[in-house]
């Protein structure tokens, strides 16, 4: 079990594959397992590094001080620890915010940036959703109920066409041995509320891919586009029909877009 020890936290991470290093950063209420559907599609071309953010997975202690800045610093320090002085980074949702922080703080290190189903800053509506989910989880039978409430927010319409999909997702989530606890969830939501990103679109200098999910109701594409449009080296893709969990709704398309974008960035390196 690979770990990286910092002053106040021991970061768990997964590393697979070979090739150019690709750092994957998970979103809210998720850990490194959130990438499971696309890792096999990327690890044959890249060395894929997946940390568990503070408050999640096997990173301990779960109640270490947590905010967006610390999470971004953890991920950047992990890449130094692994001796990668230049790497690609992709982030989903909250992970997209963290990836942008790294790209702005350490522009010489980030070869390309991929942002999936994310917005530019934490939105009041998204915060309200997380608060409601936490309240549901606090209720009787909440450990199952909050997940059922979550699924319409993160999956696209096709997911619900087969009733067994929600049951299978629920069964897998309840059986997952490293699931975020109620207390850790509350801690992460508090950190999310306090997150004040320092990154601005003008500060992102590397080639940047933004993947929008066409049915995303947590980070609606039309709201996000006007912010990302100010990035200088911008490419955009919309995955129609996918919900917020775009890498689960459309793993093949998502992995292909990331891989092709990184390959193109590698062939167009600045002299």
* pLDDT level of residue 109 (50, 70, 90 thresholds): very high
**Whole-number pLDDT of residue 211:** 98
DSSP H or E run through 176: none
- Nearest in space to 134 (alpha carbons), one of 195, 70, 193, 67: 193
For 58, residues 6+ apart whose C-beta sits below 8 A from its C-beta are: 1, 3, 12, 31, 52, 178
**Average pLDDT of the residues of the chain:** 96
Query: What is the per-residue pLDDT across 70-107, written as a single tens digit (0 to 9) for each?
Result: 999 999 999 999 999 999 999 999 999 999 999 999 99
- Nearest in space to 189 (alpha carbons), one of 67, 50, 43, 37: 67
Measured CA to CA, the distance from residue 219 to residue 198 in angstroms comes to 19
**Whole-number pLDDT of residue 269:** 60
Indicate the DSSP class of residue 106: -
Cα radius of gyration (the chain): 17
Give the residue carrying structure tokens 């450990």. Answer: 143
As a whole number, mean pLDDT of residues 155-160 equals 97
DSSP H or E run through 47: strand 47-51
* pLDDT level of residue 271 (50, 70, 90 thresholds): very low
């Amino acid at each position: 079990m690979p770990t990286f020890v910092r002053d106040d936290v021991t970061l768990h991470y997964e590393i697979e594959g070979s090739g150019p290093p690709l750092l994957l950063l998970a979103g809210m209420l998720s850990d490194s397992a959130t990438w499971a559907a696309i890792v096999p599609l990327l690890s044959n071309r890249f060395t894929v590094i997946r940390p568990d953010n503070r408050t999640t997975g096997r990173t301990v202690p779960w109640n270490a001080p947590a905010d967006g800045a610390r999470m971004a610093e953890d991920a950047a320090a992990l890449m130094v620890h692994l001796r990668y002085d230049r790497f690609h980074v992709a982030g989903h949702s909250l992970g997209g915010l963290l990836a942008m922080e790294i790209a702005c703080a350490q522009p010489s290190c980030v070869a390309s940036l991929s942002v999936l189903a994310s917005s530019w800053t934490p939105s009041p509506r998204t915060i309200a959703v997380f608060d409601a989910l936490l309240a549901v989880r606090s209720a009787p039978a909440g450990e199952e109920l909050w997940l059922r409430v979550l699924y319409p927010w993160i999956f696209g319409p096709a997911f619900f066409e087969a009733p067994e999909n929600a049951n299978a997702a629920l069964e897998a989530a309840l059986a997952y041995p490293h699931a975020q606890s109620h207390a850790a969830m509350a801690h992460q939501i508090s950190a999310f509320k306090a997150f004040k990103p320092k990154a601005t679109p003008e500060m992102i200098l590397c080639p940047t891919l933004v993947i929008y999910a066409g049915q995303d109701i947590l980070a609606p594409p039309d709201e996000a586009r006007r912010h990302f449009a100010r990035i200088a080296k911008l490419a955009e893709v919309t995955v129609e029909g996918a919900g917020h969990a775009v890498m689960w709704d459309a793993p093949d398309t998502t992995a292909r877009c990331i891989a092709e974008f990184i390959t193109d960035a590698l062939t167009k390196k600045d002299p």
